[in-house]
Structure 1
Amino acid sequence: MAEPLPAPQLGTLTWQPAAEHLDLLGAPVAAAVASLTEPVWVAAIDDDAADTAAFTDVYEVPLTASANCVVVAARRSAQTTMAACLVLATTRADVNGLVRRHLGARKASFAPQDVAVAESGMAYGGITPIGLPADWPVLVDAAVAASDLVVIGSGTRGSKLAVPGKVLAALPGAEVLEGLGQPVD
């Protein structure tokens, strides 16, 4: 049997194998963890520190090691496509440009909070690409896919996941896009 991988050293958090701590994950995320290509890690956090700026301040995880998942509603005629965009926390998703064109939409915008929560089955502030509905495109910025390890949501506000970028690039429905994450002005 293979030796277990050592826990990552990211910030001040105590990381544990996510597959052994499913109670820390949102239900859709917990259901999807077993299908991942490599182990991922989970750390419990304070719900009030789930938003990126607070999280990086409180737990000393660099912004460059964090990624944000935003839910987009792309519309063409009467058809709406939900999609997830995963970009480094130092960037913002190019929703009105690259995302709109890539999805073949006339209009693309951030999904309303209540729609994002209802459609994903995850808590706002904890929505993550792992465990999303199978028909959602998961657009992953190339910089995220190239990361050794990136911190993302866990489906709840009470924990975070540390995941290799290549695992995120291999998710069902995932497409790696160069330039998805644009520098923040």
Structure 2
Amino acid sequence: MKKLILIFFFLSTTITHGSVKSQIISNLISTDNLKFKFKQKIDEKIETGNCIINYPKKIFCEYDDFYKKVLVSNGKSLLINSNKNNQYFRYSLDKTPLNLILDKEFIISQIRELGEEISVGDNYKFELTYENLDIIIYFDNQSLNLVGWSTIDIYQNKVETKLSIVEKNIQVDQKIFDIRNYTN
């Protein structure tokens, strides 16, 4: 009888793990876009603001700072602009960690290959590695929505981004991802 209970417990635990991973994948598949508030820590500096991610690979963020910093990707390029010195910085998206973070197909394929998720507080955590890049992706354990990531930026700074007030599949004006709107 004890063996039977032990086998049942083992099977139910295995099924639960498998179902969480597949539920997160299903949730990602059904996600076209996300709107959220963010808190980003780069080394010891903290920045906040609002973003919209539109899959695949588009993002628009407005920072809550004096200089009205904007980060935008059209899927190919990443542009950062602020009123601080009236200049902008443009990068090829595929040279940044955001290229992978904004690619839900990449995230789904990586999660499928992983053994199991790790439960951390109110989140599930997946540790992804691609080429020489390590990315940690966090999903809320209730909604299963993306709620953060951690990586190293192009300047070798540790970047931790936490999302809050996440809305899924909202109406998005595609014009906000036009980089020309944010060049000085």
After TM superposition, the score normalised by the length of structure 2 is 0.27
After TM superposition, the score normalised by the length of structure 1 is 0.27
Higher strand share: 2
Higher normalized contact order (CA 8 Å, seq sep 6+, divided by chain length): 1
